[in-house]
Structure 1
Amino acid sequence: MPIIATAGWSIPKKVAGQFAHEGSGLARYASVFDGVEINSTFYRRHKQATYARWAEAVPDNFRFAIKIPKDITHAQAMRDITPLFKIFLDDIAPLETKRGPLLCQLPPSLAFDPQRFDVAFQEMRNEDDGQLVIEVRHKSWMSSEALELLRKFKIDRVLADPAPVWPAADFDRPARYVRLHGKPRMYYSSYSDDELRANLERLAPDGWCVLDNTASGAAIENALTMLEMDHA
């Protein structure tokens, strides 16, 4: 079964009645969903004790997708990343078997450079062999050379909506990671049932679909609808 999730676990009052009434926000969220995407790691480090507490708050089958810090993807622009990547992996280690994919989101300015990314991806794979997904935002990543490099290191492309680089039609197989940011207004707009159903159909059986239109509270509502569709 695919994992339907949101970016973060904030539950709007409008749908609060559909979740467990007791426990932490995360525990209540996990009473309905099987995974969540942690975005706060992009901006700052968390203590190991924080990850351990999160892991304890959720069921055994729950998974955390984790966004790689911007110090790696933006500040370092994917150069000489081994020391920072090791720190990141050490920080999240308490998640243990509840750790899901690592999300690498590149800045719109970062073009595909075969030499730079061959080195960077090798550095990542030297330290970790778990699922790694990448969301790129520079058109140069549409090249066949870029796709071949991703295959070499077993890195899954993110099917993003809106799609700055790889539209849905560009995927020749179901996507293992879908991120729905909201459109026409990113992070705010809600999706129609038809749009949610279409994205569910594009999702691999072991894939993730993350609703990132959290600014208006639409993410949780959309995710609940998609969960109902998947279980129908």
Structure 2
Amino acid sequence: MKNQVLTGCSSYNNRLWKGIFHPDNLSQSKWFEFYYQCFRTYEFNGSFYRFPTVRIFQNWYNKTPENFIFSVKAPKEITHSKKFVDCQDRINEFYEVCKTGLKEKLGCILFQFPPSYHFSAEKLTQIIRNLDLSFKNVIEFRHESWWNEEVWDAFREHNITFCSVSHPQLPDTIFTDFPLIFIRLHGKPKMFYSSYSSKELLDIKDAIHLKSAFVYFNNTASEAGILNALELKHMLE
């Protein structure tokens, strides 16, 4: 995806979007079909809560157009429970399930660590050692201690992307000097609910101009996420 920006959402199954995005007369079973007619990418978050299977991903693969791309979030079992400790086999299994099920429609693998996971050099080494660097790996941290040059330099050296986040408690930096740009917009000041202004979206557009990027709106607990995603998509066209 050389110099291509793909934008979408981290959810699609939202009754609040009916009449705003999904047509009033469209059955819920057709909501994702309508979504992928408007967007070319989706951030699959269900895998965070339950370890996925090849069959699940094959179903998603079969129902989407040939140019559709999924980014997939790693299970919390790996990032929150075990925190990359003694789980190399489980990480490898997750990679294999994603690769086998989604094939060429697999975009990025997102590993999101909890706020309690603070920076240390040992943890940084452990993360890099556990990753399969043949994948497009994106790491999202929720503690500000990871915003430092040691992390950024190590990630660049190993072709790992540091996730840019919009989050009430974290810096708003959009990182443009990693293998690709990966932005998650969670909503602020109210996480998952708050909308972004046209000016904020225009700033994102300008920051990623002529770059390769994924931009996902996770402020999907309200109608904000889909409206913001549509507005940014139109700005980029």
Amino acid at match of 2:129: Q
Correspondent of 1:8 among 5, 8, 11: 11
Corresponding residue to 1:101 among 97, 108, 114: 108
Contact 2:74 2:109 in 1 (8 A): yes
Amino acid corresponding to residue 121 of structure 1 in structure 2: I
How far the C-alpha of 1:26 sits from its partner, in A, is 2.4
Which consecutive residues of structure 1, in runs of 5 or more, have no partner in the other structure? none
TM-score (norm 2): 0.87
- The question of whether the paired residues in 1 share the 8 Å contact of 2:22 and 2:31 is answered with no
Q: Give the C-alpha shift of residue 183 in structure 1.
A: 1.2
CA 1:172–1:198: 2 relative to 1, 3 Å? same
Q: What does residue 160 of structure 1 align with?
A: 165
Equivalent residue in structure 1 for 2:212, among 206, 220, 228: 206
- The alignment partner of 1:49 has SS state of helix
Distance 1:23 1:44, change over 3 A: closer
Query: Is residue 2:183 matched to residue 1:183?
Result: no
Instruction: Name the SS of the counterpart of 1:168 in structure 2.
Output: coil
Matched, 1:116 2:123: yes
Give the drift of 1:5: 0.8
What secondary structure does 1:187 align onto?
A: coil
1:54-203 to 2 correspondences below 5 Å: 54-92=60-98, 93-125=100-132, 128-162=133-167, 164-168=169-173, 171=175, 173=177, 176-203=181-208
Q: Which amino acid in the other structure matches residue 9 of structure 1?
A: Y
Partners of 1:67 and 1:6 lie apart in 2 by: 13
Indicate the larger mover: 36-45 or 128-137: 128-137
Give the superposition deviation at 1:67: 0.6
Cα distance change of structure 1 residues 22 and 190 upon mapping to structure 2, 3 Å threshold: closer
**How does the TM-score come out when normalised to structure 1?**
0.89
CA distance in 1, matches of 2:142, 2:194: 20
CA gap 1:163/1:183 in 2 versus in 1, 3 angstroms: closer
Write out the 4+ residue segments of structure 1 that deviate beyond 6 Å after TM superposition. Answer: 20-23
Alignment partners' CA distance in 1, 2:9 and 2:131: 25
**1:44 aligns to what?**
50
Contact 1:26 1:58 (C-alpha < 8 Å) held by counterparts: no
Structure 1 residue 88, shift from structure 2 partner: 1.1
- For the aligned residue pairs, the C-alpha RMSD in angstroms reads 2.4
Provide the residue aligned with 2:234 in structure 1: 228
- 1:122/1:4 Cα in 2 relative to 1: closer, same or farther (>3 Å)? same
1:66 deviates by: 0.5
Distance across 2 between alignment mates of 1:193 and 1:17 = 24
Residues 201-224 of structure 1: CA deviation (Å, up to 9, x unaligned): 222632011000000121111101
Cα distance in 1 for residues equivalent to 2:81 and 2:162: 22
**Which segment is superposed worse, 56-65 or 198-207?**
198-207
